[in-house]
Amino acid sequence: METANVNRSHWSSRWAFILVTAGSAIGLGNIWKFPYMTGTNGGSAFVLVYLLCIVSIGLPLLMAETMLGRRGQGNPVAAMGVVAREAGLGRYWKIIGLIGVTGALLILSFYSVVAGWILEYTLRATAGFDGITKESAAAGFAGLLADPLRLIAWHSLFMVMTVFVVARGVTGGIEQANKIMMPALFAIVLGLIGYGMVTADMPAAFRFMFHFDVSAITREVVFSAMGHSFFTLSLGMGAIMAYGSYLDKGTSIVRTCFYVAIADTAIALLAGLAIFAIVFAKGLAPASGPGLILQTLPIAFSQMPGGVVVGPLFFLLVVFAAWTSSISLLEPFVALLIERFAFSRKRAAWATGGAVWLLGIAVALSFNEWSEVKLFGLGIFDLLDSLTTKIMMPLSGLLIAVFAGWMMQRRHVEDEIALGGKGFALWRMTLRYVSPIAIVAIFLHVIGVVG
Ligand code: PHE
Ligand code: NA
């Protein structure tokens, strides 16, 4: 089963690859998660560690994971089998692919529920948020979480949307969807920033995010920021590997991955600034958690001229961002079912989507009926988030760094990463030393062994 399949689909151009990979990276992680994590983790301390992690771990790994996918020419499990065999190593390296394809489904189960919140707010925004206050905004969000049927209905719709695109295939579905949705997203984020500049407290937002208060860096901040740097770049979950496997030989992995990382980081920072500018202007609490954007933006939309148009448009684009990411979470396992178990693409997409949908129902219930269900002190939603983001992603990333940095033959790596002299050496050094050491050090730090 480890044979490379020469007949697999390919993106139609280099530009298409950049777009779909940016589509995977840019999502709820940037617009929903980054702002609230920054808020609950002390602002600038979190932003600083996050940026350091992107440069020293995220970007090198983004290139490495793309490379493994392209070289392996198969779903993440098969691709790892191919590259391991080429390096004269055993089948156990497939564990990287396995952690990826299963982790992606776990992420998708809660990702879809959160995307459902955004669908609800798209609808609410069309009615306008007239007369909303910070108290009623908070109550409005709490009311949604308390309503299991509503959460499940939106989650179901979002899963159907996701399956629909993946079932249509790599170029006809995934690429097509991204080509429509991604450009629109950039436009609206810039628009919101413009609004924040003019009417909200941008200086306070800047101070909160960038005054780099090193003393506020705690264990929890470091652990969360590392996890988030994986989450935001879609790393270690097979998504990048799967997309890389549809990339043709001629495209520069270095250049495309660089653009993707820049775009992803820029969108997160811009979204953060826009949200915190509103938070501080309205006297809201930065640390209010996963509901932050849903308790903040409605207030802004209620006050800006044309808010009934801008509001729904904005939430719709967040739905788009989430959608282009969720299809990349579904694709790896679907590719596995197609290639390994001879499923048709349609059946693979619906079957996988169905399983994720069931798990998502448990996530939706964890906000209400099942809020008492705890494991390791965490509810179902928090548990799935922490397990994937803080454990599975860094672990898989560590293995990828070790594999690509130490196990693969140098000439095979050079063959894929067409970077001249210094650049190649710098990337490889970072991948071999900085990334794995940083990941291990952070793990040890968190369990209290060092620092
Ligand atoms: N990167 C996506 C986001 O920021 C989430 C994601 C994680 C997508 C892992 C694919 C794989 O929203
Ligand atoms: Na992201």
Instruction: Kindly give the distance from the C-alpha atom of residue 131 to the centroid of ligand 1, in angstroms, as a whole number.
Output: 35
Q: What confidence category does residue 409 fall into, taking pLDDT thresholds of 50, 70 and 90? A: very high
d(Cα 9, Cα 19) in Å, to the nearest integer?
Answer: 16
Ordered domains of the chain (ranges, CATH): 14-446 (1.10.4160)
Ligand 1 pocket member 25 (CB < 6 A): yes
DSSP tag of 283: T
Strand partners, 124: none
Does the C-beta of 265 come closer than 6 Å to ligand 1?
Answer: no
Alpha-carbon span 327 to 320, nearest angstrom: 11
What value, to the nearest 5°, has the Cα angle with vertex 43 and ends 37 and 45?
A: 105
Any residues with CB less than 8 A from the CB of 227 and at least 6 apart, and which? 386, 389, 390, 393, 394
Give the Cα separation of 251 and 16 in Å (integer).
11
Q: Which ligand is nearest to the CA of 76?
A: 1
- Model confidence over 202-252: pLDDT tens digits? 999 999 999 988 888 998 999 999 999 999 999 999 999 999 999 988 888
Radius of gyration of the chain (CA): 21
Whether residue 174 contacts residue 331, with contact meaning beta carbons closer than 8 Å, is answered with yes
* Secondary structure class of 88 (helix, strand, coil): coil
Ligand 1: does its nearest atom lie under 6 Å from the Cβ of 29?
Answer: yes
Q: Which residue has the CA at smallest separation from atom 11 of ligand 1? A: 234
124-176: pLDDT as tens digits:
999 999 999 999 999 999 999 999 999 999 999 999 999 999 999 777 777 87
Residues 65, 70, 74, 80, CA torsion sign:
negative
Looking at every residue in the chain, the average pLDDT score rounds to 92
Residues forming beta bridges with residue 375, ordered by sequence position: 378
Instruction: Tell me: pLDDT of 2 over 70.
Output: no
Kindly give the distance from the C-alpha atom of residue 233 to the centroid of ligand 1, in angstroms, as a whole number. 6
The minimum-distance atom of ligand 1 relative to the CA of 30 is 4
pLDDT digits (tens, 9 = 90+) for 365-402: 999 999 999 999 999 999 999 999 999 999 999 999 99
Band (pLDDT 50/70/90 cuts) for residue 306 is: confident
Shortest-distance ligand to the CA of residue 32: 1
Q: What is the pLDDT of residues 18-47, one digit of tens each?
A: 989 999 999 999 999 999 999 999 999 999
Q: Which of 291, 289, 234 is nearest to 263 (CA)?
A: 234
Spacing, Cα 25 to ligand 2 middle (Å):
4
Range with the poorest average pLDDT among 60-74, 186-200, 409-423: 186-200
